[in-house]
Amino acid sequence: MSKQSEPLRGEAAWKAAKKDVADRNEAAYARGRRERAARDAAWASRRRDEQREANRSLPAQPGR
């Protein structure tokens, strides 16, 4: 029987748990960065559309 099938104990178990938490944290940060980028891009797009609409309704300059 190999030692690989036995559950980790002591410091090895602690290190494995710590690595698991670090991996989950990194995945959460990456997901948050993607969501934030999508939200910011949508906001910027809406803002540009609003500015274009506002600029269309400006009065024309006299003499043009």
The 3-state DSSP class for residue 12 equals: helix
pTM greater than 0.85 (yes/no): no
State the chain's mean pLDDT as an integer: 92
Q: What is the pLDDT of residue 61?
A: 84
* Residue pair 34/28 in contact by the 8 Å Cβ criterion: no
User: Which residue carries 């030692």 as its tokens?
Assistant: 3
Banded model confidence at residue 64, pLDDT cuts 50, 70, 90: low
Q: What is the pLDDT of residue 1?
A: 46
> How far is residue 39 CA from its own chain's centroid?
9
